[in-house]
Amino acid sequence: MNWKRRSTSGLAIDFPTLNVLGFFCYTISTCSFLYSPTIRAQYAARHPASPEPTVRFNDVAFGVHALVMVLLTYSQFFQWPWYLHVSSNQRASGPVLGIVWGSIVAIVALVILVMSYSGWQRQDPQDWAWIDVVYALEYVKLICTLVKYIPQAWVNYKRKSTQGWSILQILFDITGGVLSLLQLVIDASLQDDWSGITGNPLKLGLSNISIAFDLLFIVQHYLLYPGLVDPSVRTEGSPQQPLLTSDGDDSP
């Protein structure tokens, strides 16, 4: 949509900013639970009743795909290589930058803590261990998901329009959230241990948070502001100045 309109107007930059951090953390955490013998062993030690993490290949594929797409979207706020129209006020807000840098500092501090208490290898799973770093990455993703929708919801409310904000991604997102939650329930039932649901707080939290905000955006798009146009948002083929002046003169 941004490329088609040659503009990023209508999209809050806080959304892709938090998405980049969130999906980076999500991808690392899901890959760790699926492919790292150390993390899987520590998970099994902490969840003896259901030692198999409820993370599947589709979770990793989703994370990698989402990370690539959000990086692509975020790059559109820079001149090269897209050369789109970016409003001068489309800058990441202070609170969002605080979350980004605060999360990075917290993760680094936790890594130092784990290495100080438990060393690099032969860690006690019941003490500080690498799995705690992975869980921290998951909670960073949850925070990003909880916060990232708020600026866009506020922008839509402030403009009384959802123009420039693709409803298709919301419809896909809510579908994915419902299916992800359903998969988590099915996996836990197959293991005959419902603690597998709480053992994967990332998927559980992401599904519920995403569904809640997606419903809000659907209400905004279809019920509150249906068809309302924000004149400040550039559309396809619209230049900076109108082609015709109010008196019908076609001079620029």
What is the DSSP-derived secondary structure letter of residue 236? T
Determine which of 17-31, 43-57, 125-139 has the lowest per-residue pLDDT on average: 43-57
Q: Examine the pLDDT at 206 and tell me if it is beyond 90.
A: no
Q: How far out from the chain centre does Cα 100 lie?
A: 13
Q: Examine the pLDDT at 237 and tell me if it is beyond 70.
A: no
Other C-beta atoms closer than 10 Å to the C-beta of 100 total: 19
What Å distances lie between residue 226 and 155, 161, 220, 229, CA to CA? 15, 8, 8, 9
Looking at residue 84, what is its pLDDT? 55
pLDDT in tens, 207-232: 899 999 999 999 999 999 887 665 55
What Å distances lie between residue 47 and 41, 50, 124, 126, CA to CA? 10, 6, 14, 11
Q: What percent of the chain has pLDDT over 90?
A: 36
pLDDT in tens, 117-140: 887 777 888 889 999 999 999 999
Q: Examine the pLDDT at 1 and tell me if it is beyond 60.
A: no
Rounded CA separation 188/44 (Å):
15
Structure tokens given for 211: 């569904």
Q: What percent of the chain has pLDDT over 70?
A: 79
Looking at residue 27, what is its pLDDT? 96
- Provide the 3-class DSSP secondary structure of residue 245: coil
Looking at residue 86, what is its pLDDT? 56
Residues 6+ apart with CB under 8 A from 24: 67
Phi, psi for 62 (deg, rounded to 5): -60, -45
Q: Examine the pLDDT at 245 and tell me if it is beyond 50.
A: no
What 36-39 contacts at long range (C-beta under 8 Å, 24+ apart), as own/partner pairs, is 36/130, 38/130, 39/130, 39/131, 39/134
Structure tokens given for 105: 């500092």
Structure tokens given for 214: 């997606």
Structure tokens given for 227: 């068809």
